[in-house]
Amino acid sequence: MNLRRNNFFLRDSSFWILFVILFSTGLVFFKLPFEFYFHYIFLFPLTAFFILKSGIPKFYYKLFAIPLLVGLIHVALGNNDFFTFFKVFFGLSISILFFFFILHKYDFNNLKIFKIYCSACWLLCIFAIIQIFSFLIDFRTGYNFSWILNKWGFVRGGIIGFRVNSILPEPTYLATSLSPAVYISIRNLINKNTFIFSYFQSIVIILISILTTSTIGYLGILISIILSLDFFRLRYIIFTVLISILVYNIAYNNVLDFSERVNSAKGLWIDKDFTINNTNNSSFVLYNNLHIAKENLMNYPLFGTGLGSHETAFKKFTLTKSLIQYDFEFNIKDGNSLFIRLSTETGLFGLFFIFIIIFNGFIYKSNSQLETDYHMIISHAIFIFMVLVLIRQGNYMLNGLPFIFLLYHFNKISYNEKINSLNE
């Protein structure tokens, strides 16, 4: 993106409000009885204002009728806590309504809205650049933001001495949030294009994603390469496989964090080795939460046990109280993966609903009748994001997840409308 040409976003107060709501999750005012994030001071009153002005859209009642009924039933059955259910139900409702109103404010202009999101990603990268250079010159205030962000962590290791996370709480969050911009950047370099980002910006975005040393970020890069190529041609399949093997070997042999996660994952999933080396890390968290979701799904397969119930299921089925006597009581609430949490809380119905959204919104190939293929590019970029959060992010509202899902859905609607208008 040419910042001089597109810097109207930076002068737009609504852009800054959106940026704060999307990416200020590193700051909370208090953590009990629930985490009150900094961006709530904008999110709640603005949503209330939009509702008073425009009313609640009809789709909301259809979307939340079943989750409300299922949640209340399982609260009555003791499979869920009422406060936890209400907290998640209310928070998700407010988040979805707010982002719907934002899309409406921009007249569902999906290209403009996506450019705004990419501008926010570039701003994250600017903070990451400041963080990197501050670390290299040993300026602690510039690379360790815990002095202002109280839910933010500095993680040593990685490629340059620490894992880059910009202003987001974890490196994985940064890698996931940047994944649409990474796809655009990789596509630009492969196709010699400057869609949204310049060549320089594209290179910077990819490098920052690499410097997170997030396994999920590397997966996003791989999927981006595949979707940026005509991968049904044999030579591109061979090229992608060779590049993947090369990148994997470089990361495995040179990035300690990556190799440790690979080794522990192999130990858990293949060797069934539950020694401390394999269980004292994020691989075991994912393994344990998947076990919890499976047990809960076997008991309540159709609709799960309601929003927010993964915490209750965790206490019932965690391996840390049976097979492994370690005190690993982290990620109790979000399941470490959207797929896992949906399995527990919404059952097969919720999983089917999400996969239908993803399937229906995916644009494999742009229609030749259209002058531009930006609908397809946006679809691919957001598809990658959704795949990554299904694997590794269990919070329904973190870093604007409802915003991404809504944009993905309305991007396909806009695409279909243009196709239909051409055929009339």
Domain locations along the chain? 3-423
Closest CA to 128 of 183, 173, 90: 173
- Tokens matching residue 138: 């040993």
> Taking the CA atoms of the chain, what radius of gyration do you get in angstroms?
22
DSSP letters, 174-197, are HHHHHHHHHHHHHHHHHHT--SSS
Amino acid identity, position 415 = Y
Task: Give the DSSP H/E element, type plus range, for residue 30.
Answer: strand 28-30
Closest CA to 112 of 1, 224, 220: 1
pLDDT at 2: 44
Residue located via tokens 């239908």: 356
pLDDT at 253: 75
Distances (CA, A) of 12 to 15, 21, 195, 290, 323: 5, 15, 22, 43, 54
pLDDT at 188: 94
Say if residues 175 and 214 touch (Cβ distance below 8 Å). yes
* 44-47 contacts at long range (C-beta below 8 A, 24 or more positions apart): 44/94, 46/17, 46/98, 46/101, 47/94, 47/97, 47/98, 47/101
Q: β-pairing, 156-157 with 161-162?
A: antiparallel
Say if residues 71 and 81 touch (Cβ distance below 8 Å). no
SS3 assignment, position 393 = coil
pLDDT at 8: 47
pLDDT at 184: 96
Residue located via tokens 């425009």: 54
Q: Reply yes or no: is the peptide bond before residue 301 cis, omega within 30 of 0.
A: no
Closest CA to 377 of 150, 123, 196, 164: 196
Distance CA 77, CA 90 (A): 21
Distances (CA, A) of 80 to 211, 293, 333: 39, 14, 12
Per-residue model confidence as pLDDT tens for the chain (424 residues): 444 444 445 567 788 999 999 999 999 998 888 889 999 999 999 999 999 999 999 999 999 999 999 999 999 999 999 999 999 999 999 999 999 999 999 999 999 999 999 999 999 999 999 999 999 999 999 999 999 999 999 999 888 999 999 999 999 999 999 999 999 999 999 888 899 999 999 999 999 999 999 989 999 998 998 888 765 555 666 666 777 777 777 777 776 677 777 777 776 667 666 665 655 566 778 888 888 999 999 999 999 999 999 999 998 888 876 655 555 445 577 778 999 999 999 999 999 999 999 999 999 877 666 666 889 999 999 999 999 999 988 889 888 899 999 999 999 999 988 888 877 6
pLDDT at 394: 86
